[in-house]
Structure 1
């Protein structure tokens, strides 16, 4: 739908022509847009189905067309992204709660315990996983301070717990693939069954076990190293749980399989048009391909990128340097 505002796209040319020349026939629109009448009629049919244009004539050769107001079209585009913005706002509100709670004296908030000893911080991670009965949700982000042995031990414990039926859902920092230890660890865990997503800049390192305990790990303010905040069931715990779920919806699925590191020119064009919001029909017309070919390639690209929507595919492709 977004490409209707692009003056270089077929849909954009037709819509722009109608905005400036109301109640035009398909033939006249074809002349103005520099397209064939068959293409214009196909575009008009698409735009009418999306409530962007409408007919004003009796049909047939005398049929004429009218554009809906641009403000109405733009509003429809904005509403399409409304859920995403709602999630962002919700995350901001919940992080504000975390900000306030984290700066209160732990002695005055019974649900919060501060752990500063480095050895105990690592021990808490293992205890969390061993106590999980249903699921463990985590946000993993730099600094990656664990040794190779630490990661191997973590992998063994995670495999054991997943074999027991514990579901692992992890949001990784977008740079994880560049880390020589954390990157391969992530790939092995995904292959073993972990559900993983990536976000460019998560706000915190977090682990949540079932509905019982959350651990926020932060850089210490007054000495080197980190501190962990252990949060038990409370309004703060619910805020952290909501933050995770909001970020999970915003994050992009990560897959260890894909279409390969090389992308041919045609697939790159398809991905670019997908990310701009173009429909399969619009992509087919723009690239001179059959619609079935486009549908097939879109499905392959979505699967290869581990994406469930065209927006996610665009983000994944951009992250991999394909666009």
Structure 2
């Protein structure tokens, strides 16, 4: 139901119309939104099932509808995100136990190879990128221990692969914004074309090449350093691919301006009102400014936050401490 706050979706159009025009019938909503009345009724029943709208009159044909306050909707969506992340982390933990147990019990799992040599771990990272044909998906988590030279070498390789048509999709921990070496590298790669999103606390370090190889990097259990697990096509590979895609949908797009951007008090007010579901007109009236000014500032804030919807902007702004 995240798209209920997206003005471009059918749910978003119906909900926003109810925010502006309380106690409307399905027929009136159809006229206001330009949607077919049957489609509006279907959307209303979906939203009612999710406690986003309520009916205020008897009977489906003559019923009037009312929007649940946007602040409540945003809080409910954020709670849902938290529960999904918790479930994903729990699933990831169980998967790790499963393949560790499989190694102990059988001594061999055909789709899995353990690499403990540090030099080979680094070589695998380069080889993974050099051999990618279509895309590379990765989740990057701290600690960020690479040197400036390491990141410069990685940048050169990534630019070369992106120029060859390889798509990079990366999920970063929110703490990357605070790292003096990792964040500038991240910003430069986004400017070069990398698709980047952030999560507060991604559950694992992962890289997936096309649809044929995944590499999970973990802290070694019995010594300093890390080990890499190479996973080839298998049920485990599919599970890791699904974990990435689920986290990608939850993550928030980030622009190259990132956390370094500062905002003034008025922009903070605009963001707060946006997060509460206020329209551009309502924000303009509240702040005593022209609607064009609000539209211009909203557009600039969305760009600065790397967000495509107001909901994403609210989440990203809250993560960066702007609200």
Task: Please report the TM-score for the alignment, with normalisation by the length of structure 2.
Answer: 0.73
Deviation at 1:82, TM superposition (A): 9.4
- Counterpart residue number, 2:97: 100
Deviation at 1:100, TM superposition (A): 3.1
Structure 1 unpaired stretches of 5+: 1-41, 57-65
> Which aligned pairs between 1:11-26 and structure 2 lie closer than 5 A?
none
SS of residue in 1 equivalent to 2:101: coil
**Cα distance, 1:277–1:95 mapped onto 2, change above 3 Å:** farther
Contact 2:71 2:275 in 1 (8 A): no
**Cα distance, 1:301–1:85 mapped onto 2, change above 3 Å:** same
Structure index of larger Rg: 1
- Counterpart residue number, 1:215: 215
> Which aligned pairs between 1:295-310 and structure 2 lie closer than 5 A?
295-310=295-310
**Cα distance, 1:127–1:78 mapped onto 2, change above 3 Å:** same
Deviation at 1:259, TM superposition (A): 11
Equivalents in 2 of 1:259, 1:111: separation in Å?
Answer: 40
**After alignment, is 254-263 or 159-168 more displaced?**
254-263
Deviation at 1:264, TM superposition (A): 2.7
Deviation at 1:266, TM superposition (A): 2.0
> Which aligned pairs between 1:238-317 and structure 2 lie closer than 5 A?
238-257=238-257, 261-317=261-317
Deviation at 1:140, TM superposition (A): 0.8
- Counterpart residue number, 1:184: 184
Contact 2:114 2:228 in 1 (8 A): yes
Equivalents in 2 of 1:228, 1:246: separation in Å?
Answer: 22
Structure 2 unpaired stretches of 5+: 1-17, 30-43, 45-52, 59-63
Contact 1:90 1:246 in 2 (8 A): no
SS of residue in 2 equivalent to 1:103: helix
Tell me the matched-pair count: 273
Structure 1, residues 266-303: CA drift from partner, whole Å, max 9, x if none?
A: 22111011122333344334333444443332222112
Aligned-residue RMSD, C-alpha: 3.5
Contact 2:135 2:167 in 1 (8 A): yes
Deviation at 1:188, TM superposition (A): 1.3
SS of residue in 2 equivalent to 1:104: helix
Contact 1:88 1:246 in 2 (8 A): no
Equivalents in 2 of 1:322, 1:315: separation in Å?
Answer: 10
Pick one of 45, 48, 54 that aligns with 2:21.
45
Task: Please report the TM-score for the alignment, with normalisation by the length of structure 1.
Answer: 0.73
